[in-house]
Amino acid sequence: MTNVKLAVIYYSSGGTNYQLSKWAEEGAKEVGAEVKVLKVPELAPQSVIEGNPGWKAHVEATAHVPEVKLEDIEWADAIIFSVPTRFGNMPAQMKQFIDTCGGLWFNGKTVNKVVSAMSSAQNPHGGQEATILSLYTSMYHWGAIVAAPGYTDPVIYGSGGNPYGTSVTVGQDGKMIEDVEATVKHQAKRTVTVAEWVKKANQ
């Protein structure tokens, strides 16, 4: 396989989307991709984070994860985004980062990036699909190529059957209800494979 460079970019306050990102990293590496797992900068006030023990613990546990930079977008052949839903849309933290990519977009640096997305919410119809689709809307403006998983593997049905991207329900205990590990890995492999096709075609 061509050495596809994948950036897995996430926002997580409780750890779910960080875990999804780590599974995506594993899946992509299994097919030979070079992977960076990167978080978007936190915008919430420190006082709010400090007041939520779970959020504070996650921030501390992932202090070692580098924050995404514009250079990472330019570096990547493919990007997987992983975000929780916020009222059916992506979190402000992710939107803020995407909004900073205007210079890259203006200079054509986002064209033909192969992208895919994942999401989570606290109930099965909590906005996961709308969140993924809202993120893809920005990607169409980028000139990116969306590699949605569709129904390309039976594992997708076992984890809820979301054709737009892996989505998961998170219980009140903070644990994922569906078993989505295999689905995430399939989505990552598919994203890398499509990126390989695009990369070879442009050589």
pLDDT in tens, 46-61: 999 999 998 999 999 9
Look at residue 1 in the predicted model and tell me its pLDDT: 55
**How far apart (Å, rounded) are the C-alpha atoms in residues 94 and 81?**
9
Q: Find the mean pLDDT for residues 189-200.
A: 96
Look at residue 140 in the predicted model and tell me its pLDDT: 98
**How far apart (Å, rounded) are the C-alpha atoms in residues 56 and 50?**
6
Q: Find the mean pLDDT for residues 82-110.
A: 96
Tell me: pLDDT of 203 over 80: no
**How far apart (Å, rounded) are the C-alpha atoms in residues 112 and 200?**
12
Mean pLDDT for the chain overall: 95
Tell me: pLDDT of 72 over 70: yes
Look at residue 2 in the predicted model and tell me its pLDDT: 65
Look at residue 158 in the predicted model and tell me its pLDDT: 86
Residue 95: count other Cβ atoms within 10 Å of its Cβ.
19
Domain at 5-201: CATH code: 3.40.50.360
Q: How far, rounded to the nearest angstrom, does the alpha carbon of residue 91 sit from its chain's CA centroid?
A: 12
pLDDT band at residue 97 under the 50/70/90 scheme: very high
pTM check: above 0.75: yes
Look at residue 43 in the predicted model and tell me its pLDDT: 93
pLDDT band at residue 29 under the 50/70/90 scheme: very high
pLDDT per residue over 123-170, tens digit each? 889 899 999 999 999 999 999 999 999 999 999 998 889 999 999 999
pLDDT band at residue 173 under the 50/70/90 scheme: confident
Q: Where are the domains of the chain?
A: 5-201
Strand bridging mode 34-39 / 114-121: unpaired
